[in-house]
Amino acid sequence: DTAIILYNRDLRVHDHPALAEACARARHVVPLFVADPAIRPRHRGGFLAEALEDLRASLRDLGGDLVVRHGDPVAEALRVAADTGASAIWASADVSAYARARERRLERECAAHRLDFRLFPGVTVVPPGLLRPAGGDHYRVFTPYWRAWRDAGHRQVTGPPPLVRLPPGVEPGRLPRRPRAPYGHLRGGETVARRRLDLWLKLCLADYEDGHDDLAEDRTSMLSPYLRFGCVSPSEVAARATGYPGAEAFVRQLCWRDFYHQVALAFPELPRRDYRPRRVDWNEDGHAADAWRAGMTGVPIVDAGMRQLQAEGWMHNRARLIVGSYLTKRLRIHWRVGGEHFADLLLDGDVADNWGNWQWVAGTGNDTRPNRVLNPLRQARRFDPDGDYVRRHVPELAALPASLIHEPWKAAPKVPGYPAPLPTPDNG
Ligand code: FAD
């Protein structure tokens, strides 16, 4: 018989539980991706197209193909099932409200058409909802979750299936087109992801614990867009990292990712509603929000982060914390404004991680210190002491010495073309 694997954000052949099971059990397998016009890929369209091209090439190397359709994923999966005589539709379980609604619809339709429907793990290391605190359906605070996560048995990581046997006569369909101009610094796909993982584990993981907050050095893995689209399995990243000295600090970050996925599953309104309501007199200043988006606030470390985002489609985690705290706590602009802009531009932009982190930064989420405000100047001196991160992303300031680069308003004469710091609601 034939099983359909409905791909979504698990675009790989290694360590893919649903694909492995189908290839082991079914006579024929149809790896299917449906480009859903209701999902705006925003700036991630090119990365996604590259990841799909790479997946198609890998599946062809295994004797199969990636079958591509355009339209509603549920209707298209059912159509492909009817065309191929498939008896099963399997997928990797996801957490966003949209994905969950799609899964429920698919489950109903499969029941109506007497098709076997199953969801598999693979999007996170530990399946969301599996770990529960006494008396609750999810963990609200990270540290107890981390302890439970570390102690939980993790799924065995697997390689690619030996062979993908496509049923005869399936029309492969055309891949989504790549945008004309590439966006960001990272190219999509499992092949690139695996190369990056190999090199990073060998060359950089040892420095991670001490260096991961250093803004100028870029010592983090930059695996986030690949994890976002499932080009690499988070279980494989965690398992392989664990063999190296000093891995715990890094594996802990993968656990943060799982943590927000279990929050998003339990609280589907995460992108819209305060997880922990807080009374804030939000500021509606459109000009300040525009200046923040453009990287023209007059606060160099904030502007450097915002311009890195524009140029690379990625931003260092420390910079995300600084620009997020500045927007929500200093300018007092609503976290949704920040989250929307990030969701638009980030290659790793993802419902659980983006909105979970934004709410954390704004003090409406899982932060145990909701009133904390990061002082941008102190953060800049600590994490970009020589000013090299600012110099790289804010060229107007490149000639300033380290003593002035984070406080250009003290420079004489004034730096041409760079604004004075925005007034904030608290200092007028
Ligand atoms: P590394 O330091 O190498 O960490 C390895 C992996 O752990 C990352 O790839 C990521 O998958 C995970 N991770 C690390 N930090 C976090 C975290 N705080 N929360 C959840 N997972 C984490 N990450 C996203 O993947 N998508 C987003 O949309 C996103 N939005 C964010 C918004 C804000 C306001 C903030 C403060 C953080 C956001 N993050 C998001 C988390 C974090 O900044 C990125 O995951 C990280 O910078 C990615 O770089 P890296 O792969 O080099 O991370």
Task: Give me the domains of the chain, ranges plus CATH numbers.
Answer: 2-122 (3.40.50.620), 190-266 (1.25.40.80), 286-410 (1.10.579.10)
- Between CA 38 and CA 414 the distance in angstroms is 48
Asked if residue 342 has its Cβ within 6 Å of ligand 1, the reply is yes
- Between CA 390 and CA 251 the distance in angstroms is 29
Element (H, E) at 137: none
- Between CA 189 and CA 226 the distance in angstroms is 7
Mean pLDDT of 112-128: 98
Band of residue 27 on the pLDDT scale cut at 50, 70, 90: very high
For 23, counting Cβ atoms within 10 Å of its Cβ (0-12 exposed, 13-18 middle, 19+ buried), the class is buried
Q: Is the pLDDT of residue 428 over 60?
A: no
Q: Is the pLDDT of residue 182 over 90?
A: no
Band of residue 424 on the pLDDT scale cut at 50, 70, 90: confident
- Between CA 134 and CA 310 the distance in angstroms is 43
For 10, counting Cβ atoms within 10 Å of its Cβ (0-12 exposed, 13-18 middle, 19+ buried), the class is buried
- Between CA 217 and CA 392 the distance in angstroms is 11
Q: Bridge-partner residues for 3, per DSSP?
A: 29, 88
Asked if 10 contacts 16 with a C-beta cutoff of 8 angstroms, the reply is yes
- Give the pLDDT of residue 40: 87
Sequence length of the chain is 428
Q: From the CA of 26, how far away is ligand 1's center (Å)?
A: 37
Asked if residue 348 has its Cβ within 6 Å of ligand 1, the reply is yes
Q: From the CA of 224, how far away is ligand 1's center (Å)?
A: 6
Band of residue 368 on the pLDDT scale cut at 50, 70, 90: confident
Query: Which residue out of 213, 321, 357 has the highest number of ligand 1 atoms within 8 Å of its CB and is therefore the one to mutate?
Result: 357
Band of residue 123 on the pLDDT scale cut at 50, 70, 90: very high
Asked if residue 324 has its Cβ within 6 Å of ligand 1, the reply is yes
R_g of the chain, CA atoms, integer Å: 23
pLDDT tens sequence across 51-84? 999 999 999 999 999 999 999 999 999 999 999 9
Element (H, E) at 167: none
Q: Is the pLDDT of residue 275 over 80?
A: yes
Lowest mean pLDDT among 71-85, 150-164, 174-188, 226-240: 174-188
Asked if residue 321 has its Cβ within 6 Å of ligand 1, the reply is yes
Asked if 231 contacts 192 with a C-beta cutoff of 8 angstroms, the reply is yes
- Between CA 15 and CA 6 the distance in angstroms is 16
Asked if 64 contacts 56 with a C-beta cutoff of 8 angstroms, the reply is no
Q: From the CA of 349, how far away is ligand 1's center (Å)?
A: 9
Name the 3-class secondary structure at 287. Answer: helix
pTM above 0.80, yes or no: yes
The region that residue 280 occupies, defined by phi over 0 for left and psi between -120 and 50 for alpha, beta otherwise, is beta
Query: Which residue out of 200, 213, 224 has the highest number of ligand 1 atoms within 8 Å of its CB and is therefore the one to mutate?
Result: 224
- Give the pLDDT of residue 264: 98
224 is in an annotated binding site: yes
pLDDT tens sequence across 291-346? 999 999 999 999 999 999 999 999 999 999 999 999 999 999 999 999 999 999 99
- Compute the mean pLDDT over every residue in the chain, rounded to the nearest whole number: 96
Band of residue 427 on the pLDDT scale cut at 50, 70, 90: low
Q: What is the longest distance spanned by two Cα atoms in the chain? A: 77
Query: Which residue out of 253, 255, 314 has the highest number of ligand 1 atoms within 8 Å of its CB and is therefore the one to mutate?
Result: 253
User: Residue of the nearest CA to atom 8 in ligand 1?
Assistant: 224
| One-character DSSP codes across 366-407 | S-S-TT----HHHHHHHHSTT-HHHHHH-GGGTTS-HHHHT-
- Give the pLDDT of residue 298: 98
Mean pLDDT of 269-288: 95
For 271, counting Cβ atoms within 10 Å of its Cβ (0-12 exposed, 13-18 middle, 19+ buried), the class is buried
pLDDT tens sequence across 203-260? 999 999 999 999 999 889 999 999 999 999 999 999 999 989 889 999 999 999 999 9
